Amino acid sequence: MNLTLAFRHVRLLRVLSRRWQRHFIFMVGGLVVGLAGVGMAFAADSAQSAFRSVLHVAPYAGFIVTPLGFGLAIWLGNRFFPNTQGSGIPQVIAARQLKSTGARGKLVGLRAAVGKILLTMLGLAVGASTGREGPTVQVGASVMFMIGRLSPRRQPGLILAGAAGGIAAAFNTPLAGIVFAIEEMSRSFEVRTSGLIISAVILAGLTSLAAFGNYTYFGSTADTLTWGANWVAVPVCGAIGGLCGGLFSRILIAVPTDIPGKVGAWIKQRPIAFAIACGFLVAICGYLSGGAANGTGYAQAREVLHGVRNLPFIYAPLKFVATTVSSISGLPGGIFSPSLSVGAGLGSDLSSFFPGAPIGAIVLLGMVSYFTGVVQAPITSFVIVSEMTNNNAMLVPLMTAALIANACSRLICKEGVYHALSHRFLHGKHTEEA
């Protein structure tokens, strides 16, 4: 009898030991996601700095470096790193829906992660109007997917946790990471994976805090919108930002799959030539804006938000074109930061119509409205902007603008851009078994 009881205790200890081993491995995964986010932040800053240095020496260099860099990135992606194009978030959404580990691995495996990092940095180094936040999501999901090979049943939840950790590490916004995972990535609350998501966000966030300190992405701002005539800015920014963001998403979804005739066929048959042409257009935007349209747009958004400088009226249109062209080229790179920057430029332009309101408040409305129009995730939009600026006083105006922008965006683009683009990875040849 005692021997039987002893065997039961031994068996229980083995089960508990295996569970603790898995939890420890998952915790390590969260730390790795955080380190990846921190590393990509430093690398992105260095890549942009290198491009600005080139322009400082030779202002016309963008007309050579940017097109050739776009072409090189597309060639490398097609040849060595398939499934790395774009922001990477559609790949993560598709990977969660696939049933096969082999098919998932083609979207969020080691090769995809390595290629995403290298090619995203290459794009920023040649002046692309892209960001690092979306790629950080794909890299974070890849890290957790590789760990998830130890527990295949939990892979979808682990991929979701890695994506949330990627957002938390990229922006230093833990709450936004959780909201993003629920609203945009899974479109539901999954009780079984909530612990994994929170754990990954905490560990990735702690890693970011250790590297950067307790900072806010765009710095703290106390600007607010008092009740009265200035509140007209809320529906105005919401409607214009939502329509512009919806237009951006519609273009991304349409190119190249919905382009008819010879133009669509040419884009599909000659992706490198198309990328070079896109790079040349980005170079034009960069030259006309004095280099402001290149890169993530983080510096421009931060400066106008804090009143350091005013953005010229032409900045928002040029940044919109540069980001659109960079994205449809197939170049690996995110749209988070550039979209927030376009929104900041839009808010700056609209602020002249509301002279009684603080410019920072109108800029925040523009950021939330345009970003909501692009991703059609209103809760994520106002949470991420308020958390990135440490501004709780603007929550109600930002919520209202986000809801208006979401409704207006859907008039132009019926489905959110990330989920619409994920269909390409669900039905493409890369979803087949390895």
Q: What does the domain layout of the chain look like in residue ranges?
A: 2-212, 229-425
- The amino acid occupying position 53 is S
Q: What is the pLDDT of residue 205?
A: 63
End-to-end CA distance of the chain: 51
* Same fold: 2-212 with 229-425: yes
- Across the chain, which distance is largest between two alpha carbons, in Å? 86
Q: Bridge partners of 332?
A: 86
CATH fold of 2-212, please? Clc chloride channel (1.10.3080)
Query: For the chain (length 434 residues), average pLDDT per consecutive 10?
Result: 53 51 69 88 95 95 97 96 94 90 91 96 97 93 84 76 82 75 65 58 65 60 75 95 98 90 90 97 97 94 84 96 97 95 96 90 95 93 84 86 96 92 76 40
Closest CA to 420 of 164, 245, 249, 241: 249
Tell me phi and psi for residue 87, to 5 degrees: -75, -30
Q: C-alpha 62: how far from its chain's center?
A: 25
CATH number of 229-425: 1.10.3080.10
pLDDT of residue 282: 98
Nearest-CA neighbor of 176 among 390, 19, 14, 365? 390
Contact between residue 34 and residue 169 where contact means Cβ atoms under 8 Å apart: yes
Hey, what amino acid is at 182?
I
- Check: CB of residue 174 under 8 Å from CB of residue 202: yes
What local confidence, expressed as pLDDT, does residue 117 receive? 96
Q: Residue 184 has what pLDDT?
A: 73
pLDDT for 407: 96
pTM: 0.88
The total of other beta-carbon atoms located within 10 Å of residue 306's CB is 17
Q: What is the pLDDT of residue 235?
A: 96
Which residue, among 240, 219, 244, 401, has the nearest Cα to 305 in the 3D structure?
Answer: 219
Contact partners, residue 200, CB within 8 Å, separation at least 6: 26, 29, 30, 33, 140, 144, 161, 162, 164, 165, 168
Tokens of 38: 């921190």
Residue 88 confidence (pLDDT): 93
Q: Find out whether the peptide bond into 332 is cis, omega within 30 degrees of 0.
A: no
Query: 335: number of CA atoms within 13 Å, CB side?
Result: 32
What does the pLDDT read at residue 151?
A: 65
pLDDT of residue 267: 93
Q: How many CB atoms lie within 10 A of CB 290?
A: 13
